[in-house]
Structure 1
């Protein structure tokens, strides 16, 4: 397509996501704070490594960074051209999305909060889910570029809605993870064959994405591959708790789970996969889930 596209942030997700764009767009700029990663991406996938100032002259700009604060830092350094659509795939803060959208409106441009789900495998296979907040006109314009990287792409509401859906999704992941850790620790404490029990639960009403994939593929085999950091899950659960407090509603399970995930993250330290949260339970019970 004739639209130019840029991708800012080539981490575990962004590096794989941006790799699909050259098959659909003739000009794809990439930028990363560690610029060597951008040149590596260009060599590997046929993108073009450019400066930040050049990257933000694209028609569609994707960003995929750890936090909304880092997106703010980049936005404060640049000016985009009128009509640009900035698609932020960060798992960010809803209120930040609203402020960022207003900031770009002053430049006659658009901001979409468009976090993704599917982890690195989904990024690798272009099978991500996009949950998008912002103006529908901008969503329609950026849709072909998102379709290059995802299979389920939904406009879920106004600015901040995409980030809200992602925070609640990840909070539910955290709840399922804690439930599985507690449930299977209890079973093993009673001498149950937890591998066989897992098959039963996955054919029953207690199943979840955690029991179907996370438990067998990350925990029981003790691999804990780092694809989504535990610290980032703790950040997202914190966003979900903030949303609950802003709405003045009661959600005790969510609040308790956030405390547990934050404690597990503090105990594990940096560079641990979210599935490693079960190690906190193992340290308490002296029972290893394997």
Structure 2
């Protein structure tokens, strides 16, 4: 297939490489130009070169701006797959704009960070037409290990934001727990195995606790992206009339750390507050 990838951050760049390795014809575009042989200088040019358009962009603003840039090139032959984590309003807006143009649209955010993207092990949350999902499965399978069908457009966006809320809250709890243990003389070498053998142990804990203990905040998923996603979760809660004090407190801490210069680091840098 001819596929254009929009957004060449940690995830988008690896997915573009893996799609190329899967013998697809790939065109890439990034708002800040990247030195790649497959890159073009304009979003509309990227759209004209491919039938399948994959967004791996930072946020809703980037998605809307990019869509407007490629709008003149969109036709009924195109399919737009939005892999970006955005607000629900932007997902619905993209779907409406595509529908008006006769362009197919799939709400398809992912879970998984740098290593998963590198190893073609993302998990896609797919919202939209079952027929369209099956048509796109050969493409989605190249960069993922699982595709989870979640119903109509919008459901995948909601689930992605809600699960990131859980991840942010978990890392905050891990940070607090290890800080308390360490302050009372329990070393991370003792604390971490105890957590991993506890009911609260998880794959996330096994990834983040050793890195936190070693001060290794190499970016797998940035603190700034988690700041954005925590704000999206709070907005969804407000729209539903729900009070969510846990994520609100964590989001405040995340924002403070971003403002202190840690925005580009992995969100496990939450441990830095201690």
Using the size of structure 1 for normalisation, the TM-score is: 0.87
The equivalences for 1:57-68 within 5 A come to: 57=48, 58-68=50-60
Say which is worse superposed, 234-243 or 3-12, in terms of deviation.
3-12
Find the counterpart in structure 2 of residue 279 from structure 1.
272
Find the counterpart in structure 2 of residue 99 from structure 1.
93
Asked if 2 retains the 8 angstrom alpha-carbon contact of 1:5 and 1:27, the reply is yes
Structure 1 residues 187 and 141, CA, compared in 2 at 3 Å: closer, same or farther? same
Asked if 1 retains the 8 angstrom alpha-carbon contact of 2:18 and 2:120, the reply is yes
Asked if 2 retains the 8 angstrom alpha-carbon contact of 1:85 and 1:142, the reply is no
Paired with 2:194 and 2:173, the residues of 1 have a C-alpha distance of 16
1:220 Cα deviation from its structure 2 partner = 1.1
Which residues of structure 1 form unaligned runs of 5+?
43-47, 283-290
The equivalences for 1:32-47 within 5 A come to: 32-39=30-37, 42=38
Using the size of structure 2 for normalisation, the TM-score is: 0.92
Are positions 1:52 and 2:33 aligned together? no
1:110 Cα deviation from its structure 2 partner = 1.8
1:214 Cα deviation from its structure 2 partner = 0.7
Asked if 2 retains the 8 angstrom alpha-carbon contact of 1:21 and 1:148, the reply is yes
Paired with 2:34 and 2:192, the residues of 1 have a C-alpha distance of 44
1:250 Cα deviation from its structure 2 partner = 3.1
Find the counterpart in structure 2 of residue 256 from structure 1.
249
Structure 1 residues 192 and 165, CA, compared in 2 at 3 Å: closer, same or farther? same
Which residue among 209, 215, 221 is the counterpart of 1:228?
Answer: 221
Secondary structure of 1:148's aligned partner: helix
Paired with 2:12 and 2:179, the residues of 1 have a C-alpha distance of 36
Secondary structure of 1:56's aligned partner: helix
Structure 1 residues 176 and 94, CA, compared in 2 at 3 Å: closer, same or farther? same
Which residue among 206, 220, 228 is the counterpart of 1:212?
Answer: 206
Which residue among 5, 8, 28 is the counterpart of 1:7?
Answer: 5
Secondary structure of 1:37's aligned partner: coil
Which residue among 117, 123, 126 is the counterpart of 2:117?
Answer: 123
Structure 1 residues 270 and 106, CA, compared in 2 at 3 Å: closer, same or farther? same
Asked if 2 retains the 8 angstrom alpha-carbon contact of 1:96 and 1:160, the reply is no
Structure 1 residues 177 and 52, CA, compared in 2 at 3 Å: closer, same or farther? same
Find the counterpart in structure 2 of residue 241 from structure 1.
234
1:25 Cα deviation from its structure 2 partner = 4.1
Paired with 1:18 and 1:185, the residues of 2 have a C-alpha distance of 39
1:26 Cα deviation from its structure 2 partner = 4.0
Q: Deviations over 1:159-198 (max 9, x none)?
A: 2222211111111111111111111111111111331221
Which residue among 56, 68, 71 is the counterpart of 1:76?
Answer: 68
Asked if 2 retains the 8 angstrom alpha-carbon contact of 1:29 and 1:50, the reply is no
1:230 Cα deviation from its structure 2 partner = 0.5
RMSD: 1.8
Q: Number of aligned residue pairs: give it.
A: 271
Asked if 2 retains the 8 angstrom alpha-carbon contact of 1:94 and 1:159, the reply is no
Which residues of structure 2 form unaligned runs of 5+?
none
Asked if 1 retains the 8 angstrom alpha-carbon contact of 2:107 and 2:157, the reply is yes
1:258 Cα deviation from its structure 2 partner = 2.2
Paired with 2:64 and 2:133, the residues of 1 have a C-alpha distance of 21
Secondary structure of 2:217's aligned partner: coil
